[in-house]
């Protein structure tokens, strides 16, 4: 028997408005754009809810009813859940219905969708705890498997997850790390005694998430029958299909046929008696690890490099991320809840992603996801907001 493990990431950041140098010292609100641009966070969350979250979750609920054997898993950033509670509460109710079926697992992560693990262990722990609290409050669940922001992983994250009591961590199944090995097995993280490592099958996952509507792709159009056949012929114990939830309806529009594809996929998979569905925890409980995986350097699921260069690859990004974490001690000494909250929202990895200046295919992806006209506009708005935050911190000390 071979398992199919679906994992969907739900995240929306608080985008920084076009914060000008003249606003520094005069405007302490960084995320409250009310115009018609893509910096209006309410507008974006309502649009994504309408195009993606609501139809996809309604479809998954129906599929779970039709196919009792089906299993799925999610992780939700805390900042996405906050915005959904405020602007699209019907989405939260749909997610609750999904989780109440008992066939959907919720994974742990950082509340603010940050890279804090690599910059501040104490801040990372605080954000994980806050995330655990909102998952308990909204869904009555306690995450047993962990995913770090952008699937960023290094050996010490596996060691941390093991100490923290998680049964597993998910990461990218990147060829240079795996060598001859397949991502379709459970692995033991180097340095961890009990936790396990589940690796994304990036080829099959990205066939749906990125290539589904590409007419230049040799396999276009991708049908559920074809995709189920690929999964059935894959070697290994588990095929881990990890992707952004916005794949359905937002990144791949309804007109591409993505919802029809998703609707028919469980039926096509069920035709193969050698396949079943499992959540990450069920995969870990079922299959023994085949080997130990050593990731001494950071691996992510972004760009062709699969490292942190999507967020820290140029001087603007490095300056921004180093400056925000440099404020940590002063922010805590200020003892101001609003300051702390704004500082944490400014840690969200998307801000640095928008500053990326890569070219070719990676650059196209960054440009698609960015609400700014250029990486330089993203940097200017962010650094101006950071300057104001620094002024506010100074006044509180």
**pLDDT tens column, 128-153:** 999 999 999 999 999 999 999 999 99
Quote the tokens at residue 359.
Answer: 């070219």
Percent of the chain surpassing pLDDT 90: 94
Instruction: Give the pLDDT of residue 366.
Output: 45
Choose between 396 and 366: higher pLDDT. Answer: 396
Q: What is the mean pLDDT of residues 272-284?
A: 98
* pLDDT at 368 > cutoff 70: no
Global confidence as pTM: 0.95
Instruction: Give the pLDDT of residue 358.
Output: 77
* pLDDT at 363 > cutoff 50: no
Instruction: Give the pLDDT of residue 76.
Output: 99
* pLDDT at 228 > cutoff 50: yes
pLDDT digits (tens, 9 = 90+) for 153-193: 999 999 999 999 999 999 999 999 999 999 999 999 999 99
Instruction: Give the pLDDT of residue 397.
Output: 74
* pLDDT at 333 > cutoff 70: yes
* pLDDT at 239 > cutoff 50: yes
Quote the tokens at residue 248.
Answer: 């359905």
pLDDT digits (tens, 9 = 90+) for 335-349: 999 999 999 999 999
Catalytic center residues: 150
* pLDDT at 331 > cutoff 80: yes
Mean pLDDT (the chain) is 96
pLDDT band at 365 (very low <50, low <70, confident <90, very high): low
Cβ–Cβ < 8 Å for 180, 206: no
* pLDDT at 369 > cutoff 80: no
Q: What is the mean pLDDT of residues 303-326?
A: 95
Give the 3-state DSSP-derived string for the chain, with helices as H, strands as E and coil as C. CEEEEEEEEECCCCCCCCCCHHHCCCCCCCCCCCCCCCCCHHHHHHHHHHHHHHHHHHHHHHHHHHCCCCCEEEEECHHHHHHHHHHCHHHHHHHHHHHHCCCEEECECCCCCECHHHCCHHHHHHHHHHHHHHHHHHHCCCCCEEECHHHCECHHHHHHHHHCCCCEEEEECCHHHHCCCCCCCCEEECCCCCCEEEEECHHHHHHHHCCCCCCCCCCCCCCHHHHHHHHHHCCCCEEEEEEEHHHECCCECHHHCHHHHHHHHHHHHHCCCCEEECCHHHHHHHCCCCCEECCCCCECCCCCCCCCHHHHCCHHHHHHHHHHHHCHHHHHHHCCHHHHHHHHHCCECHHHHCCCCCCHHHHHHHHHHCCCCCHHHHHHHHHHHHHHHHHHHHHHC
Percent of the chain surpassing pLDDT 70: 97
Q: What is the mean pLDDT of residues 290-315?
A: 94
Instruction: Give the pLDDT of residue 305.
Output: 86
pLDDT digits (tens, 9 = 90+) for 17-35: 999 999 999 999 999 999 9
* pLDDT at 367 > cutoff 90: no
Instruction: Give the pLDDT of residue 184.
Output: 99
Closest by CA position to 267, among listed 76, 59, 128: 59
Q: What is the mean pLDDT of residues 278-282?
A: 99
Q: What is the mean pLDDT of residues 370-381?
A: 95
pLDDT band at 362 (very low <50, low <70, confident <90, very high): very low
Instruction: Give the pLDDT of residue 360.
Output: 44
């Amino acid at each position: 028997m071979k398992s199919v493990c679906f994992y969907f990431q739900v995240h929306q950041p608080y985008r920084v408005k076009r914060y000008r140098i003249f606003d520094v010292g005069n405007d302490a609100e960084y995320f409250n754009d009310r115009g018609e641009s893509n910096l209006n966070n309410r507008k974006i969350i309502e649009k994504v809810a309408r195009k993606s979250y609501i139809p996809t979750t309604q479809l998954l609920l129906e599929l779970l009813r039709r196919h009792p054997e089906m299993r799925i898993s999610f992780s939700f950033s805390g900042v996405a859940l906050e915005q959904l509670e405020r602007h699209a509460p019907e989405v939260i109710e749909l997610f609750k219905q999904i989780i109440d079926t008992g066939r959907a697992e919720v994974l742990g992560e950082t509340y603010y969708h940050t890279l804090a693990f690599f910059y501040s262990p104490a801040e990372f722990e605080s954000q994980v705890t806050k995330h655990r609290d909102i998952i308990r409050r909204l869904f009555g669940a306690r995450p047993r498997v962990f995913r770090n922001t952008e699937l960023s992983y290094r050996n010490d994250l596996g060691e941390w997850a093991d100490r923290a009591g998680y049964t597993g961590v998910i990461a990218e199944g990147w060829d240079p790390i795996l060598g001859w090995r397949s991502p379709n097995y459970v692995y033991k993280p180097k340095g961890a005694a009990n936790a396990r490592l589940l690796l994304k099958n990036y080829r099959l996952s990205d066939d749906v998430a990125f290539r589904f509507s590409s007419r230049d792709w040799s396999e276009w159009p991708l049908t559920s029958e074809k995709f189920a056949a690929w999964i059935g012929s894959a070697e290994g114990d588990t095929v881990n299909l990890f992707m952004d939830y916005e794949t359905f309806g937002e990144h791949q529009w309804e007109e591409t046929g993505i919802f029809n594809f998703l609707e028919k996929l469980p039926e096509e998979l069920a035709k193969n008696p050698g396949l079943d569905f499992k959540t990450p925890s069920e995969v870990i409980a079922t299959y023994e690890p085949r080997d130990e995986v050593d990731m001494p350097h950071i691996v992510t699921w972004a760009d062709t490099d699969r490292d942190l260069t999507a967020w820290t690859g140029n001087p603007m990004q490095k300056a921004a991320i180093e400056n925000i974490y440099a404020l940590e001690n002063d922010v805590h000494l200020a003892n101001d809840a609003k300051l702390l909250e704004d500082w944490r929202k400014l840690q969200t990895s998307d801000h640095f992603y928008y500053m990326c200046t890569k070219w070719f295919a990676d650059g196209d992806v960054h440009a698609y996801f960015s609400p700014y006209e250029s990486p330089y506009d993203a940097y200017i708005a962010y650094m101006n907001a950071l300057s104001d935050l620094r002024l506010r911190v100074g006044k509180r000390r």
